[in-house]
């Protein structure tokens, strides 16, 4: 009787830990933004290269969603759920392994759909006669051909905003 209570508590603890990990991963992903008006804490107070130019082409694109966090969360939750299919140690291990595999696949697909963003590809003629293309998440400004823009680049990432 005591062993059954201990196993039951252990399974509840595993599921609770899985949901805790899930919430931590989801909350860590919640603040990653691709919008031109939003900067991460790591990107502030750093010097950037600035370029100016004119938009010559605007194209709507889809920005693929993140699959890594969903796969990890799905694997953890699937393993926790799968381990509870039996009280036997071998069956529980098999259930955890299968649960992790299925959970990872389902979690990655779900995460990809949830985190997919609408984007814009801007082709810009720079003032120095170069032509560049930048893809970013759709923000507050609706870019049009002929708009004068400012491009800010830091650590290989470029944001486009209206030049004012």
Residue 64: pLDDT band (50, 70, 90) is confident
SS3 87: coil
Looking at the structure, do residues 10 and 90 belong to the same domain, yes or no?
A: yes
Q: Which domain holds residue 102?
A: 1-30+66-115
Judge if 83 and 137 occupy the same domain.
no
Query: Does residue 100 share a domain with residue 82?
Result: yes
Q: What is the pLDDT of residues 76-111, one digit of tens each?
A: 777 777 776 767 777 777 777 877 788 787 777 777
Say yes or no: 53 and 125 in one domain: yes
**126 and 156 inside one domain:** yes
Distance CA 6, CA 11 (A): 9
pLDDT at 10 over 70: no
Separation of alpha carbons 121 and 80, rounded Å? 42
pLDDT of residue 83: 73
Q: How many residues does the chain have?
A: 164
Please count the CA atoms within 13 angstroms of the CA of 55 that sit on its side-chain side.
23
149 and 87, same structural domain? no
């Amino acid at each position: 009787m005591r062993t059954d209570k201990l196993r039951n508590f252990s399974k509840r603890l595993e599921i609770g830990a899985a949901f805790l990990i899930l919430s931590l991963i989801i909350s860590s992903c919640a603040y990653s933004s691709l919008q031109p008006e939003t900067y991460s804490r790591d990107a502030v107070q750093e010097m950037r290269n600035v370029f100016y130019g004119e938009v010559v082409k605007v194209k709507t694109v889809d920005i693929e969603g993140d699959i890594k966090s969903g796969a990890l969360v799905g694997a953890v939750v699937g393993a926790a759920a799968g381990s509870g299919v039996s009280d036997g140690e071998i069956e529980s291990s098999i259930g955890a392994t299968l649960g992790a595999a299925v959970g990872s696949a389902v979690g990655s697909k779900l995460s990809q759909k949830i985190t997919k963003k609408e984007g814009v590809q801007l082709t810009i003629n720079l003032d120095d006669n170069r032509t560049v293309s930048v893809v970013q998440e759709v923000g507050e400004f609706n870019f049009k051909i002929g708009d004068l823009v400012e491009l800010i680049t830091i650590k290989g990432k470029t944001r486009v905003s209206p030049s004012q």
